[in-house]
Structure 1
């Protein structure tokens, strides 16, 4: 039993290497003779068996009508091979960036499809995931979403996308496995916790603090809001008023105290994944409040900042922290 599993593993590895050399990863792939594989379905095998029985029956009893029927059925099967190939050949598949996702969420990969001619009944899915059926792919570009179940953080590769069709009669199965090279960084699953927030003082020591927010001030431009009658005209956005956008007031803000720091000093603790999930939740919480914060992950220090780009940078850094087994190596 063990030897059989080993042999199957070697066969899979050999097939993966062969497939990688024949269909290398690319963000855009057009199916052609080199990338489309065809085999009879179970219904097709039954069809061929029927053809063989009819041919033997016709030759044994010298019945030309039965022989002609067997040859007709064989020609239909041969025609299905050609149409099965043509139904996938010329199909162009390209990938787009995946939306943000956390570990445990179902990833959604946007796929862009276009064809040289109308193609029917195309099935698309990632291995062991839900199959998406497209009844028709026309010459007009088509966008579809392919789901991928994932429970891990870090860099996730969905693998090869399977594209299949059994058009027109289900006698032949034409398929391809394309690697769109669409790896995606999945954030750690957020876990609500009372994470201790700290900031550096002048001696570079950690001090517990709840600073990092903003209060009304004159240091930084915050945005525009509707003007309230009676307010000072010094803050009126005259340029926007001249553009016909109405009377708007400029708002300014200033940081409140020292910025906050989220820390993970020990990367080899037993509950590493729990701590990373807590950090993820804290990053999302502080970003939602618009507070300034920094992140310390061992030697990786992200300076204090705010905004969506800072949030994504922090979440990516947390997601890419090596697992405990990798850290101990």
Structure 2
């Protein structure tokens, strides 16, 4: 269920009829204007002033009434012009976790002049804080809360303004034609992942000796090796012939054996809790610098590490 599905009545019917578009340009066809509460109060006040001026034939009353009415009409035009001509597109995707606050990067372009007190927010998200757009291109971080994991449609985006007098509100809704991958929320205070080795390492990969009789992290000296790597105690026992020197290099698996994060290790939990726990384990393994693999939802991700490997594991947890 998305945020738009929770909107009832004619407003929900109207929002669901909006077409999904990759960009949204604000024109007179897409902008709507209605008075705010102060605007309705101003309308009532002007009506009373006009009635009183007519009843008592007050020329100054006429002047005040029409001056205020003209200012309000100019404010409506200024508010409309404050948004007209802007174009909204989505920026780079941000990591989003189910049920947790996330941000949506909305790029606002087309501001050839400063635009004042512009509000950009998402349907179902917190109210927007008015911002002044003084650059031709601005990226606004819009908070929202993804409802569940998996590919989710981007939330509806609302752009509005009450500038300059606050007597009217000009707004427009945009339904982005973009789906966002939402990862499962990591389980808080999850137990540490079981240290299940992958079993793919060789004898020498875990500290054994190589065919030369030396440890696997020792090899002959080569031109360009750092002096810090040279085994100087051994080098002192031979002539000043660098070809007889030995150097120490880091082991290829210095971080320990490869680990498997297996869904079978948390089979007692329901599906969503298993995904949350595996997500927490993936983040833990990445922070610890392990080489880790993942088995979940019938999909096997070979052991690895790094941002791309982390992203691949989280994609599996989000979609399976």
Larger strand proportion, structure 1 or 2? 1
Task: Work out the CA distance in 1 between the residues paired with 2:69 and 2:306.
Answer: 66
Q: Evaluate the alpha carbon distance shift between residue 124 and residue 312 of structure 1 in structure 2; reply closer, same or farther with a 3 A threshold.
A: same
Give the match for residue 205 of structure 1. none
Task: Tell me if structure 2 keeps the 8 A contact 1:212–1:293.
Answer: no
Q: Evaluate the alpha carbon distance shift between residue 265 and residue 51 of structure 1 in structure 2; reply closer, same or farther with a 3 A threshold.
A: same
Give the match for residue 277 of structure 1. 276
- Cα deviation for residue 138 of structure 1 reads 1.8
CA deviations on 1:133-170 (whole Å, 9 max, x unpaired) are 34421243223322223464333445112212111111
2:101 aligned with 1:106, yes or no?
A: yes
Task: Work out the CA distance in 1 between the residues paired with 2:255 and 2:261.
Answer: 17
> 5+ residue gaps in structure 2?
1-6, 208-215, 218-224, 232-247
Task: Tell me if structure 2 keeps the 8 A contact 1:210–1:260.
Answer: yes
- Cα deviation for residue 107 of structure 1 reads 0.7
Task: Work out the CA distance in 2 between the residues paired with 1:72 and 1:256.
Answer: 77
Task: Tell me if structure 1 keeps the 8 A contact 2:256–2:290.
Answer: no
2:169 aligned with 1:170, yes or no?
A: no
Give the match for residue 80 of structure 2. 85
TM-score w.r.t. the length of structure 1 is 0.71
Q: 1:8-47 maps to which residues of 2 (within 5 A)?
A: 9-18=8-17, 20-21=18-19, 24-26=20-22, 28-47=23-42
Task: Tell me if structure 1 keeps the 8 A contact 2:255–2:290.
Answer: no
- Cα deviation for residue 259 of structure 1 reads 5.3
Task: Work out the CA distance in 1 between the residues paired with 2:92 and 2:255.
Answer: 37
Task: Work out the CA distance in 2 between the residues paired with 1:212 and 1:290.
Answer: 18
> 5+ residue gaps in structure 1?
1-7, 199-208, 219-225, 233-248, 322-329
- Cα deviation for residue 68 of structure 1 reads 3.5
Task: Work out the CA distance in 2 between the residues paired with 1:185 and 1:11.
Answer: 30
- Cα deviation for residue 283 of structure 1 reads 2.1
Task: Tell me if structure 1 keeps the 8 A contact 2:102–2:145.
Answer: yes
Q: Aligned pairs, how many? A: 278
2:66 aligned with 1:67, yes or no?
A: no
Structure 1 runs (4+) greater than 6 angstroms displaced:
255-258, 266-269
Q: Evaluate the alpha carbon distance shift between residue 179 and residue 172 of structure 1 in structure 2; reply closer, same or farther with a 3 A threshold.
A: same
CA deviations on 1:246-281 (whole Å, 9 max, x unpaired) are xxx975626999854433369997622222222112
Task: Tell me if structure 1 keeps the 8 A contact 2:266–2:274.
Answer: no
- Structure 2 SS opposite 1:112: strand
- Structure 2 SS opposite 1:302: strand
The alignment's C-alpha RMSD in Å is: 3.5
Task: Work out the CA distance in 1 between the residues paired with 2:99 and 2:293.
Answer: 26
Instruction: Select 2:181's aligned residue among 185, 194, 197.
Output: 185
- Cα deviation for residue 40 of structure 1 reads 0.7
- Structure 1 SS opposite 2:83: coil
Give the match for residue 50 of structure 1. 45
Q: 1:102-251 maps to which residues of 2 (within 5 A)?
A: 102-114=97-109, 115-150=111-146, 152-191=148-187, 192-196=190-194, 209=197, 211=199, 227-229=226-228, 231=230
Q: Evaluate the alpha carbon distance shift between residue 212 and residue 118 of structure 1 in structure 2; reply closer, same or farther with a 3 A threshold.
A: farther
Task: Work out the CA distance in 1 between the residues paired with 2:99 and 2:161.
Answer: 31
Give the match for residue 263 of structure 2. 264
TM-score w.r.t. the length of structure 2 is 0.72
